[in-house]
Amino acid sequence: MDAIDVIRAKRDGAALTPEQIDWAVDAYTRGAIADEQMAALAMAILLNGMTRPEVARWTDAMIRSGERMDWAELDRPTTDKHSTGGVGDKITLPLSPLVAACGAAVPQLSGRGLGHTGGTLDKLESIPGWRASLTNAEMLDVLRAAGAVVCAAGSGLAPADRKLYALRDVTGTVESIPLIASSIMSKKIAEGTGALVLDVKVGSGAFMKTVANARELAETMVAIGTDHGVRTTALLTAMDRPLGDAVGNAVEVAEAVEVLAGGGPADVVELTLTLAREMLSAAGLESRDPADALKDGSAMDVWRRMITAQGGDPDAPLPSARETHTVVAPSSGVLTRLDAYGVGVAAWRLGAGRARKEDPVSAAAGIICHAKPGDTVTEGRPLLTLHTDDEARLPRALESLDGAYEIADGKPTLLPLIIDRV
């Protein structure tokens, strides 16, 4: 085949044939299609979209570019969760051990943060000794020992996606819903889970700003999972304000441990339990309420085993910041808005995130929110506490908070935490 013919077909609005898709993905992975040609094809896909059969075949071709993991040796069903990312989204940390405590195996491949959205691996690496990189054999050992594992995807998993994602990032084609959906689902299906629940975030701190766009992405991903024999559902959840009280790395780990200990912010607990019930239902395990596993300490026991099995010390003190700065309420009233994006950018500028994938992150950097939208606040009382190891980062972080919160009379207008189910 010829790359130009494939580009022209999609440019002119045609549906690509299975043979064209298989050839294009394979040829690009091998280097037989140049970056500029694949960039042109990605832009044509962004502009003209893909049909459901096209998206399913594109995803399948990316899966077949590498290995597909198999957990048949385990004596329990597998289920997993994927979040599209947000601010304060530490849900994987309490959720994975909680679901494992209720009888499922959770093989969770996670990523690192980029920009204002935090990465699960960055958070966990604030625990002394914890390792993100595991071989497939080590993943299996951790699953047997603890029931849950959270780690980085290996280089053999969907290599076509890794190469294409890097190209999309620099060619203005990240926003294509077919390419977003196939990128996420190729890795999750290759991961080998039997059931999958998608947490699609909506709001200023999320990639999807509107409910309509989030629903389109969710429906596309659910269709891909269904077409590949993976039981898949999706929840649309709010990201117009930060999730929980902590935004950063070590501070989010501490908050996740609070949830596992039976406490924690109400919104984090609610979303963790809702997703746990969804995951267990998808895996055919509904005999135990996950709320009981939080109350009786069994979820905490799994957390400790999981962290220990990956080299971490669950009892070690978490890193703390050398510098803090408190933002106080400028007036009394009701906190009617606390913008997720503004808080996320502030945490990023404090050192909790990265602008490029090669950048280091600070384990101690982050923000503690002392009030949530709807709370009554008093002039001069703490609103936010900024944590950083570098005092020089504070001015720019504070700049990003200008206009990020409002205090007024009356109730705020907020998205419901759980918006919809697909």
Catalytic-residue membership of 187: yes
**Which of 10, 81, 116, 168 is the catalytic position?**
168
For 128-196, what is the HEC assignment?
A: CCCCCCCCHHHHHHHHHHHCEEEEECCCCCCHHHHHHHHHHHCCCCCCCHHHHHHHHHHHHHHCCCCEE
**Which residue, chain included where needed, has tokens 């500028």?**
349
**Which of 10, 90, 116, 187 is the catalytic position?**
187
Report whether 87 contacts 348 (CB < 8 A).
Answer: no
**Which of 10, 57, 82, 393 is the catalytic position?**
82
Catalytic-residue membership of 168: yes
Query: Which SS3 state, helix, strand or coil, does residue 421 take?
Result: strand
Burial class (CB in 10 A: 0-12, 13-18, 19+), 383: buried
Q: How do 79-83 and 195-202 pair as beta strands? A: parallel
- From 358, 362, 356, select the one nearest 397 (Cα to Cα): 362
Q: How do 418-421 and 231-238 pair as beta strands? A: antiparallel
Catalytic-residue membership of 82: yes
Amino acid at 129: G
Between CA 106 and CA 147 the distance in angstroms is 6
CB atoms within 10 A of CB 1: 14
Between CA 175 and CA 178 the distance in angstroms is 9
CB atoms within 10 A of CB 395: 10
**Which of 183, 204, 298, 362 is the catalytic position?**
183
Residue 128: strand pairing partners:
none
Report whether 143 contacts 71 (CB < 8 A).
Answer: yes
Report whether 227 contacts 52 (CB < 8 A).
Answer: yes
**Which of 122, 161, 199, 227 is the catalytic position?**
161
Between CA 205 and CA 246 the distance in angstroms is 14
What are the angstrom distances between the C-alpha of 207 and each of 85, 117, 249? Answer: 7, 9, 20
For 69-105, what is the HEC assignment?
A: CCCCCCCCCEEEEEECCCCCCCCHHHHHHHHHHCCCE
Cite the active site residues.
Answer: 82, 161, 168, 183, 187
